[in-house]
Structure 1
């Protein structure tokens, strides 16, 4: 890849040269990238919390007294 080749971004199926975007558009693109990273981080945190919850629920079930059937 040549160093002078323009960097591009694809949005809604259309490719844009970053150099052709306004400063505001580049800032919004950066905001989207940061937000996507945060969503990914939060999804990972949610997966960890769900796994922990399942483990706690299973541990609780083992600690409950046996139910007597009539």
Structure 2
């Protein structure tokens, strides 16, 4: 039995209404997208640091 915890209360996912299941699906999608974007941001921050260091080195030459 799969369940979800909302504000400290457990709910059986199979017993949720169709609307609640739809909202849960949307919430899970958004959570996944947020994780994907956070991973992209980590890549961008790494690239930013590398480019910043490269620029610093280039102007100091």
TM-score, normalised to structure 1's length? 0.80
Q: Stretches of 4+ moved more than 3 A in 1?
A: none
1:35 maps to 30
| Structure 2, gaps ≥5 residues long | none
Q: 1:20 aligns with which of 15, 19, 33?
A: 15
How many residues in Structure 1 have an aligned counterpart in Structure 2? 61
Match of 2:59 among 61, 64, 67: 64
Whole-Å Cα distance in 1 between the matches of residues 6 and 55 of structure 2? 48
- Per the TM alignment, residue 19 of structure 1 is displaced from its structure 2 partner at its CA by 2.2
Would you tell me which structure has more helix in proportion to its own residues?
A: 2
**RMSD of Structure 2 on Structure 1 (CA):** 1.2
Q: Does 1:7 align with 2:15?
A: no
Q: Which runs of 5+ in 1 are unaligned?
A: 1-5
- Structure of greater relative contact order (alpha carbons < 8 Å, 6+ residues apart): 2
Distance in 2 (alpha carbons) for counterparts of 1:54 and 1:7: 43
